[in-house]
């Protein structure tokens, strides 16, 4: 019995141990199964929905309906869009006064509520995107409006009020002044009324036969085809569904001066729909055009802000109409769709045969809508056949249809060009891509290339431009980085080293945006961009748009095809824009015909933009840029100042130039085209970045039209030194300088003949006269510099005092620059009796002076010439007095003496 019990316990223990092991085995098995399943799911092709269908022709569909239809009103129309035909008013439209824009400058005056107001910023964004000049003012509740005329010419072609109530409630004096200006100069007004919680539900607009009804909920937006301002806007569409918000305003009037532009109906749930002035389905104007029949002034009034996309479209038309098409782009729009990274991309993201077939099919459909439309494919040959078997077949199909597309090269291995510091090595990489293209029959004569990540295009990597020209004979490229990525409306083109650089636009499609339902923010964000949002506005406001897309956008859900087919159809449904495509070289020629002012670049400081610094060579440093400039003018003692500053142990001047000696002359002339790499070669690598202060002196910067803007773009924190002497003495010194350099005009004419020459004199004589007289208008030139630099960055050096007491002047300059240690110029300088000016003291109490060309002795200026110049510069000098007093800077000794002598 006891033995049996022992056996039983032993067996039960074995069974429990086996059960525990079994449970443990099951747990391990489950965990391994889950891990395997997770790996399989994450690495297997996704079972995805079919790609979204593009918008159908002007009736919604595909990824998003053009209008959300709800309620009984939709059942009456069957949910369909139907053209709206309103009774024409052609009889009275003939009475509209023709706008005469010849007496105004093409500038818009914008009255905003504050510099931070959203609507004000949206207005300015559209003006800037269209490249229209404007001036903003805070709308005055009381007080004077800015001056509207100058020399019997209007300063503004259009007035915009962010809040139209600020316009109608102007005090009688300013309102009368503004209205008289608008009537006399043919200037129109655009105003916005956005209802707030304090707005009355119904009111008459002060001074106008126009009534406002606010706080309304509306639906089914329509465009009045009879509105005269329509130009870009196509009036045959109805945007069905509820308008966003419950703060809409409608305009009512019986006066013939008002023409509706946009109209809507009440939502059935709105109380005014049942108690208002008409039946439920009556149309009410939310945007009206005042034809000027009431008071001779044409206006456009909006019953909301610019949040709704159709308001932006009509706003652009209103600007064009009220300025007589002076501020208006033509209807032509050129678009080019680049497909970057062909053959590049990890497995599972590339194009298959069916994707290439879809690409060809969509291209053919788009060619029926956009003449010459062709996808432009950018390739890196190293990655050919590096996908799955299906994707490699897609690569082959692209090459079989290579002549159906345009092609452009990336780098062979998709490396960033700024990482290559040797032109030869960079060129070898390009040659590998060219060999690949030749072996596979890819056309290589487009003259267009794009650098991976836009590296080397801007900021300029000179080696890239040289290699492009040597290997590919590149004539055109594009980048999204000039002058900065954001805001996109500031992107511009430029020409460097013979290569035209065009602005490139993003379209919301990046390498990781490959599935419609996984689009950042949801698919509705992509559709919103297409339907009147950012992508639509890019086409609307830019005559030429190059869009960046990627290979992965044409596989998977084919978002590239969906986006551009939808965009083209939406643009053609709602606008009269004429879309077309040109090859890159022709497109670049067209671009610079439209924007010739963009041919010359404006170099920025790469270290002030993190993106630019990331795509700039690590061998370059902004520490080689100067911290202050001596800007001139010429013949005022700038060379002496340059030599004195170089004596300071913490101050280093630029290396000399082989052609312009101690001057670089970068910002004011042709050297600027060389780029900042060339400029920085004139400066050493500082041994102590925080303590070393580098500078350059170019005396022709002072009166240059372009130097201040260029200098401020590259050196916004630099300090500026200007040396001023009596402008009459400066003019005479320049004349003698030119005689010494054998200028025939100076040799053959007396100084008095030069400065008093008539406009009919010879060209050579007039050129000399200008160089004698023009730089002496000191105040006007300093004002130009002060447009780009703060007064605290400017120091005026008394040129007469620099000559007589340089130690005192140098002490003031050291304080202004904040350099340490303070250098004792008393021991460094000495007066040279033979030369007649101060020079550097060297060993043995000897002096080291400037060259023979400095300190020349020549006859005194005639009293006749001095009297003429004193009168010529009288007003200029008084302007200088006022300017220096405003800046809080002391008057130079010579100017102070002149003031005393005239009292």
The string of pLDDT tens digits covering residues 665-676 is 999 999 999 999
Q: Is the pLDDT of residue 77 over 90?
A: no
- Give the model's confidence band at 237: pLDDT under 50 very low, under 70 low, under 90 confident, else very high: confident
The number of beta carbons lying within 10 Å of the beta carbon of residue 664 is 25
pLDDT of residue 198: 86
CB 205 within 8 A of CB 249: no
**Lowest mean pLDDT segment, chosen from 233-237, 277-281, 559-563:** 277-281
Rg (CA), the chain: 36
Q: Is the pLDDT of residue 489 over 80?
A: yes
Pull the structure tokens for residue 793. Answer: 């960055």
pLDDT of residue 80: 32
pLDDT of residue 354: 97
Which residues, at least 6 apart from 699, have a Cβ–Cβ distance to it below 8 Å?
Answer: 630, 631, 632, 633, 634, 635, 636, 638, 639, 663
Dihedral over alpha carbons 55, 60, 64, 65 (to 10 degrees): 180
- Give the model's confidence band at 81: pLDDT under 50 very low, under 70 low, under 90 confident, else very high: very low
Digit-coded pLDDT (tens) for 282-291: 899 999 999 9
Dist. CA 874–CA 673, nearest whole Å: 38
pLDDT of residue 536: 98
- Give the model's confidence band at 91: pLDDT under 50 very low, under 70 low, under 90 confident, else very high: very low
Integer angstrom CA distances of residue 503 from 335, 458, 495, 608: 12, 11, 11, 20
Q: Is the pLDDT of residue 49 over 70?
A: no
Dist. CA 725–CA 873, nearest whole Å: 12
Q: Is the pLDDT of residue 130 over 80?
A: yes
Q: Is the pLDDT of residue 75 over 50?
A: no
Q: DSSP string covering 170-216, please?
A: S-HHHHHHHHHHHHHHT-EEEEE----TTS-SEEEPTTSS-EEEEEE
Q: Stretch 675-693: mean pLDDT, rounded?
A: 86
Q: What is the three-state SS of 454-501?
A: HCCCCCCCHHHHHHHHHHCCCCEEEECCCCCCCCHHHCCCEEECCEEE
CB 205 within 8 A of CB 230: no
Dist. CA 208–CA 550, nearest whole Å: 54
Dist. CA 156–CA 322, nearest whole Å: 12
Of all residues in the chain, what percent carry a pLDDT higher than 90? 80
Q: Is the pLDDT of residue 7 over 60?
A: no
Dist. CA 297–CA 293, nearest whole Å: 8
pLDDT of residue 232: 98
- Give the model's confidence band at 651: pLDDT under 50 very low, under 70 low, under 90 confident, else very high: very high
CB 859 within 8 A of CB 873: no
Q: Is the pLDDT of residue 561 over 80?
A: yes
Half-sphere exposure of 676 (CA within 13 A, CB side): 26
- Judged by DSSP in three states, 707 sits in helix
For 396-399, the CB contacts below 8 A with 24+ separation are: 397/353, 397/356, 397/357, 398/342, 398/351, 398/356, 399/440, 399/441, 399/442
Dist. CA 717–CA 895, nearest whole Å: 29
Q: Is the pLDDT of residue 843 over 90?
A: no
Of all residues in the chain, what percent carry a pLDDT higher than 70? 87
pLDDT of residue 12: 55
Which residues, at least 6 apart from 746, have a Cβ–Cβ distance to it below 8 Å?
Answer: 735, 736, 738, 739, 754, 768
Arithmetic mean of pLDDT over the chain: 89
- Give the model's confidence band at 845: pLDDT under 50 very low, under 70 low, under 90 confident, else very high: confident
**Max Cα distance, the chain (Å):** 148
Closest CA to 554 of 838, 324, 362: 362
pLDDT of residue 70: 31
CB 641 within 8 A of CB 797: yes
- Judged by DSSP in three states, 847 sits in strand
Dist. CA 380–CA 670, nearest whole Å: 36
CB 215 within 8 A of CB 195: yes
Q: Is the pLDDT of residue 83 over 70?
A: no
Listed in order, strand segments (DSSP E) in 528-646 are 544-550, 578-580, 628-632
Digit-coded pLDDT (tens) for 736-789: 999 999 999 999 999 999 999 999 999 999 999 999 999 999 999 999 999 999
Active site annotation includes 852: no
Which one from 635, 763, 854, 857 is the annotated catalytic residue? 635
- Give the model's confidence band at 18: pLDDT under 50 very low, under 70 low, under 90 confident, else very high: low
Q: Is the pLDDT of residue 9 over 70?
A: no
Dist. CA 299–CA 700, nearest whole Å: 48
Q: Is the pLDDT of residue 587 over 60?
A: yes
pLDDT of residue 32: 66
Q: Name the residue with higher pLDDT: 141 or 433.
A: 433
Q: Stretch 697-701: mean pLDDT, rounded?
A: 97
pLDDT of residue 56: 72
- Give the model's confidence band at 504: pLDDT under 50 very low, under 70 low, under 90 confident, else very high: very high
Closest CA to 557 of 518, 598, 585: 518
Digit-coded pLDDT (tens) for 311-350: 999 999 999 999 999 999 999 999 999 999 999 989 999 9
Burial class (CB in 10 A: 0-12, 13-18, 19+), 607: middle
Which residues, at least 6 apart from 15, have a Cβ–Cβ distance to it below 8 Å?
Answer: none
CB 285 within 8 A of CB 221: no
Q: Is the pLDDT of residue 893 over 80?
A: yes
Dist. CA 834–CA 589, nearest whole Å: 61
- Judged by DSSP in three states, 884 sits in helix
Closest CA to 230 of 293, 289, 159: 289
pLDDT of residue 665: 97
pLDDT of residue 65: 34
Closest CA to 392 of 343, 326, 328: 343
Q: Is the pLDDT of residue 62 over 50?
A: no
Q: Stretch 232-250: mean pLDDT, rounded?
A: 92
CB 255 within 8 A of CB 210: yes
Q: Is the pLDDT of residue 835 over 90?
A: no
CB 721 within 8 A of CB 729: no
- Judged by DSSP in three states, 218 sits in strand
- Judged by DSSP in three states, 632 sits in strand
pLDDT of residue 46: 46
Which residues, at least 6 apart from 38, have a Cβ–Cβ distance to it below 8 Å?
Answer: none
Digit-coded pLDDT (tens) for 142-189: 667 899 999 899 999 999 999 999 999 999 999 999 999 999 999 999
Q: Where are the alpha helices (DSSP H) in 741-794?
A: 744-747, 751-755, 763-773, 778-786
Q: Stretch 122-130: mean pLDDT, rounded?
A: 97
**534-541 vs 118-129: helix axis angle to the nearest 10?**
40
- Judged by DSSP in three states, 438 sits in helix
Digit-coded pLDDT (tens) for 188-199: 999 999 998 888
Q: Stretch 866-883: mean pLDDT, rounded?
A: 97
* Degrees, nearest 5: CA angle 126-132-138: 70
pLDDT of residue 833: 81
Compute CA 538 distance to the chain's CA centroid, rounded to the nearest angstrom: 13
Residue pointed to by tokens 């569409």: 237
pLDDT of residue 98: 66
Closest CA to 235 of 82, 76, 66, 62: 82
């Amino acid at each position: 019995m006891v033995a049996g019990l022992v056996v039983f316990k032993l067996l039960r223990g074995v069974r429990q141990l086996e059960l525990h092991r079994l449970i443990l085995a099951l747990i391990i098995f489950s965990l391994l199964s889950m891990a395997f399943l997770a790996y399989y799911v994450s690495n297997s092709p996704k079972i995805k929905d079919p790609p979204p269908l593009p918008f159908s022709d002007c009736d919604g569909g595909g990824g998003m309906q053009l209008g959300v239809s709800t309620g009984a009103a939709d059942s009456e129309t069957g949910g369909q869009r139907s053209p709206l035909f309103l009774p024409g008013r052609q009889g009275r439209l003939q009475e509209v006064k023709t706008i005469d824009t010849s007496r105004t400058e093409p500038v818009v005056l914008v009255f905003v509520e504050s510099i931070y107001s959203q609507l004000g910023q949206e207005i300015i964004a559209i003006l800037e995107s269209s490249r229209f000049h404007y001036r903003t003012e805070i709308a005055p509740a009381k007080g004077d409006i800015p001056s509207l005329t100058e020399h019997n010419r209007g300063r503004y072609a259009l007035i915009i009020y962010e809040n139209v109530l600020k316009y109608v409630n102007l005090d009688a004096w300013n309102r009368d002044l503004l209205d008289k200006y608008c009537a006399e100069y043919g200037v129109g007004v655009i105003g916005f009324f956005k209802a707030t919680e304090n707005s009355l539900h119904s009111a008459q607009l002060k001074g106008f036969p126009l009534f406002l009804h606010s706080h309304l909920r509306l639906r089914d937006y329509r465009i009045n085809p009879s509105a005269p301002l329509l130009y870009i806007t196509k009036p045959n569409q109805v945007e069905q569904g509820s308008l966003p918000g419950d703060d809409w305003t409608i305009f009512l009037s019986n006066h013939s001066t008002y023409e509706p532009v946009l109209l809507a109906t009440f939502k059935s749930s709105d109380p005014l729909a049942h108690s208002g002035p008409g039946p439920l389905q009556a149309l009410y104007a939310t945007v009206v055009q005042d034809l000027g029949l009431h008071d001779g002034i044409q206006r456009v009034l909006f019953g909301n802000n610019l949040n709704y996309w159709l308001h932006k479209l009509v706003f652009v038309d209103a600007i064009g109409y009220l300025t007589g098409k002076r501020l208006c782009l033509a209807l032509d729009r050129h678009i080019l769709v680049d497909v970057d990274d062909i053959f590049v991309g990890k497995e599972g993201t590339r194009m298959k045969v069916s994707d290439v077939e879809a690409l060809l099919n969509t291209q053919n459909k788009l060619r029926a809508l956009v003449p010459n439309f062709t996808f432009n494919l950018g390739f890196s040959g190293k990655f050919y056949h590096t996908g799955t078997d299906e994707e490699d077949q897609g690569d082959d199909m692209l090459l079989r249809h290579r002549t159906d597309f345009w092609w452009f090269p990336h780098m062979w291995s998709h490396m960033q060009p700024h990482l290559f510091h040797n032109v030869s090595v960079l060129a070898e990489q390009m040659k590998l891509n060219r060999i690949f293209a030749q072996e596979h029959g890819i056309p290589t004569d487009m003259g267009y290339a794009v650098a991976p990540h836009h590296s080397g295009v801007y900021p300029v990597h000179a080696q890239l431009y040289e290699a492009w020209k040597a290997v590919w004979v590149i004539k055109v490229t594009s980048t999204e980085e000039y002058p900065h990525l954001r805001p996109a409306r500031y992107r511009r083109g430029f020409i460097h080293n013979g290569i035209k650089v065009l602005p490139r636009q993003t379209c919301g499609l990046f390498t990781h945006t490959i599935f419609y339902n996984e689009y950042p923010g949801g698919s509705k964000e992509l559709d919103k961009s297409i339907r009147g949002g950012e992508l639509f506005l890019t086409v609307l406001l830019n005559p030429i748009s190059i869009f960046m897309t990627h290979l992965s956008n044409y596989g998977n859900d084919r978002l590239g095809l969906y986006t551009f087919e939808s965009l083209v159809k939406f643009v053609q449904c709602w606008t009269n824009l004429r879309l077309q495509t040109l090859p890159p070289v022709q497109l670049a020629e067209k671009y610079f015909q439209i924007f010739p002012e963009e041919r010359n670049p404006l170099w920025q400081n790469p270290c002030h933009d993190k993106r630019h610094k990331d795509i700039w060579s690590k061998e370059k440093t902004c520490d080689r840029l100067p911290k202050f400039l001596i800007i001139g003018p010429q013949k005022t003692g700038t060379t002496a100042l340059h030599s004195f500053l170089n004596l300071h142990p913490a101050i280093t001047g630029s290396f000399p130039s082989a052609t312009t000696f101690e001057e670089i002359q970068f910002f004011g002339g042709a050297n600027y085209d060389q780029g900042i790499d060339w400029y920085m070669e004139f400066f050493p690598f500082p041994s102590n970045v925080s303590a070393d202060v580098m500078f350059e002196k170019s005396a022709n910067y002072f009166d240059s039209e372009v130097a201040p803007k260029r200098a401020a773009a590259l050196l916004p924190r630099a300090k500026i030194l200007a040396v001023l002497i009596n402008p009459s003495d400066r003019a005479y010194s320049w004349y003698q300088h030119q005689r010494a350099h054998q200028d025939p005009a100076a040799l053959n004419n007396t100084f008095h003949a030069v400065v008093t020459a008539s406009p009919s004199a010879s060209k050579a004589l007039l050129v000399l006269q200008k160089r004698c007289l023009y730089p002496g208008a000191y105040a006007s030139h300093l004002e130009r510099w002060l447009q780009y630099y703060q007064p605290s960055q400017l120091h005026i050096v008394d040129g007469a005092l620099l000559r007589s007491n340089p130690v005192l002047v140098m002490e003031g300059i050291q304080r202004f620059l904040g350099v340490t240690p303070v250098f004792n110029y008393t021991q460094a300088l000495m007066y040279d009796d033979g030369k007649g000016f101060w020079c550097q003291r060297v060993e043995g109490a000897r002096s080291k002076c400037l060259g023979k060309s400095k300190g020349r002795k020549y006859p005194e200026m005639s009293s006749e010439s001095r009297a003429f110049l004193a009168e010529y510069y009288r007003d200029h000098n008084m302007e200088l007095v006022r300017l220096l007093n405003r800046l809080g800077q002391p008057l130079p000794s010579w100017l102070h003496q002149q003031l005393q002598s005239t009292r």
